[in-house]
A and B are shown apart, each in its own frame.
Chain A
Amino acid sequence: MNDLNKKNSLKSTIIVIACVLAFWGLLLLIENFNLIVPGGPKLFNPTSKLFMVLRKVIVYCLIAVSMNLLNGFTGLFSLGHAGFMLFGAYTFAILTTPVSLKVPADGIFYKYGGSVVHFSLQEAFQAIFGTSPAGERISLILGVLVALIISGAVAAVFAYLIGLPVLRLKSDYLAIATLGFAEIIRTIFQCEVIQLPGGGELVLGKLTNGANMIKGFPTLNSFNIIGENGKTALYLSTVVPAIIVTACIAIIVLLINSTYGRSFKAIRDDEIAAEAMGINLAKHKILSFCVSAFFAGVGGALYAMFATTYQAKPFTSVLTYEILLIVVIGGIGSVTGSCIGSFLYIACSEWWLRFLDEPMFIGNFQVPLLKDGFRMVVFSVVIMIVVLFFRKGIMGTKELPDLFKKKKNKTKGKVNSNAG
């Protein structure tokens, strides 16, 4: 019987890996479709709405899944994700903005006479690998990867410090405390100068550029390979983040299915019983909190890459609510649900419902109600319908493989098959 189990688990592992590879291949193909077949459908233009949405979806997937790990699997109702993303994004931006942009007194840090960070990771790697096109490429990729990991680590360290006092609270109180911390973090990042008690002052702006924008760091478009004629030879700006995010989600899924993940779920189901079964509550809660913050940090860094420029302003609690909405729509306690949720949410708000914001004419007849802002009205109605008809979110607590156990004939076709 054990052999059978092993065979089955091996089989499902192979299926999952095949699906993920197929998903990556498909992304790569449609992104480069117009390079292979000139004059293909407009939709597959690399600058089209589709890819903008896909990239954002990919980034949001990671953030939503990391929030789900905390809210859905460990049962800690935390609303501090915007704060963790901020840590990730700022760490990434500070570490990877080229020296030529941030150090000179008239660069992007002109208000503070240049940045205090006198290096950037990819340029540091260039010193090792050389400045040939290949060397530059390797140092870019390595620089970005290392920066992403450091971004996550910084977010996790601060999550640990915040978690020590905050995780003693439960349910709503925890939500309020984490929300407060996220706002404090944002305010600190926007702050230019901190007066020290001794009379001195700490010019924080030299590190974070205050409330001003940071730009010039590698973006998702930096992954594209430029040919000799100056035109893009291969588009990778959607595939690379997809690979990074899939790897991160895979780690989260592995964690959830491990013995630690089971104890997270035990804490969610019944704290008192979990503790009586020998699960150290404080330790496991902070572990979940830190892991979640780590991936939120990575997600924040990817979000900065997606947005190309960066400032603290948009990272208010509204962003957290957006992600919470995705988690709730997808299903609290379902990784697949979070992925589907972020796709639906982003696609609706950025793409499918956009036409509602513009006046439309059928012949001479102007369709009523269609004007700026109407999209949000329809969007709220859609969300309400989802919440009414799917009480537990679209997926509930089910994952993708659970669906196939019942309906084996149904073919896999979902964009988010990488999650299971």
Chain B
Amino acid sequence: MPDNVLRVENVTMQFGGVVAVNNLSMEINKGEIVALIGPNGAGKTTAFNVITGVYQPTNGRVLYNGETIIENFPKSKMKKLYAGENKGVYKNTIVKTPDQVTKLGMARTFQNIRLFKSMTVFENVLVAKHLRRTSNVFSAIFRLNAKEEQKMREETLELLKLLDLEDVKDELATSLPYGKQRHLEIARALATKPSLLLLDEPAAGMNPQETEELTAFIRRIRDEFDLTILLIEHHMNLVMDISDRIYVIDFGKLIADGTPEVVSSNPRVIEAYLGVAEDAEN
């Protein structure tokens, strides 16, 4: 039994002639916080979307807890067009839709907040409990699942308490301040009972103080919920502070990986991403 929770193996994602993610390999071990960084348009979110099943990779595979969950190889039109590496290594096609991936225990948040607008904070989290249901539609209509429903509500309330959202639970999700909406999105992802949490720019649009709070928050949920976390982020303070390891990609290709110290002193990373403006920080 390998202890890496997630293993991304030679994943290439090609849209027409554009190679968005090129031969990306990553390993994420249990309990780690791993950051994926890179300039805008480097393919970070695309990589996320491949892992969570939104896109089917053109080539490569993704393993979760040692089990292949997604695998693909170039087919039909892509056969000629394919510009990536490792052609012919993978022979199977395994497709998972995002809901199946979530069911396996991988939950994600979004770069631009995607809360359920017409619902309250409480309902937003409660919806995420739906996938662990045991009731079918008839037992749900005729309330034969009252016990389960009760349990879902209690668990939701408990989760909101833990994440300091209890006092706003009956407010509309969209009426919350921005920072709280981010917290809520994470809370909603946690309600699916994941073991791996994928955060897509959790600190986007936050001021330094909010970012600091978020850093503490992410650490706390990692410890309290026994999570492994993969995050995409642009705030270097947060990334350097929180990550156990960092992967840097540029133009879809992995250019460096390792601990924050190693990565931040890597000349290629400085050239491609950290740049001169960030020098003050390091």
Contact = CB atoms under 8 A, between A and B. Distances in A.
A263 B128 CA distance: 8
Given A269-B119, A273-B115, A277-B192, A259 B99 contact: no
Given A251-B141, A255-B140, A275-B97, A270 B123 contact: no
Contacts of A270: 114-117
Interface string B120-137: 000100111111010101
Contact of B114 (A260, A262, A272, A333): A272
B98 interface: yes
B282 interface: no
A281 B53 CA distance: 14
A34 interface: no
Contacts of B117: 269-270
A22 interface: no
Contacts of A260: 130, 137, 140-141
B137 A255 contact: yes
Interface stretch (B62-70, B100-108, B271-279): B100-108
B110 A277 contact: no
A278 interface: yes
Interface residues of B, number: 39
A397 B118 contact: yes
B52 interface: yes
B186 to A, nearest CB: 12
Given A273-B110, A277-B192, A281-B99, A259 B116 contact: no
A288 B214 CA distance: 38
B188 interface: yes
B123 A262 contact: yes
B165 interface: no
Contacts of A268: 118
Interface string B165-207: 0000000000000000000000011001000000000000000
Interface string B254-272: 0000000000000000000
A280 B140 contact: no
Contact of B119 (A265, A272, A276, A281): A265
Given A265-B119, A266-B116, A269-B117, A279 B141 contact: no
Contacts, number: 103
Interface string B139-152: 01111010001101
Contacts of A105: none
Q: Is the interface of A mostly helix, strand, loop or mixed?
A: helix
B127 A277 contact: yes
Interface string A324-338: 000000000100000
Contacts of B133: 259
Given A259-B133, A259-B135, A265-B119, A278 B140 contact: no
A258 interface: yes
Interface in B61-82: none
Contact of B131 (A255, A265, A273, A277): A277
A254 interface: yes
Contacts of B128: 277-278
A287 B142 CA distance: 16
A262 B127 contact: yes
Interface string B233-257: 0000000000000000000000000
Contact of B141 (A254, A262, A263, A273): A254
B137 A279 contact: no
B119 A255 contact: no
Contacts of B127: 262-263, 265-266, 274, 277, 279
A277 B119 contact: no
Contact of A276 (B107, B118, B137): B107
Contacts of B54: 272
Contacts of A269: 115-119
B130 A276 contact: no
13 contacts: A258-B145, A258-B149, A259-B126, A259-B140, A263-B127, A265-B123, A270-B115, A272-B110, A275-B99, A276-B52, A276-B99, A277-B107, A280-B97
A-B CB proximity, top 9 nearest: A278-B131, A278-B102, A273-B114, A269-B116, A258-B140, A275-B98, A277-B128, A266-B127, A263-B130
Interface of A: 2, 251, 254-255, 258-260, 262-263, 265-266, 268-270, 272-281, 287, 333, 397
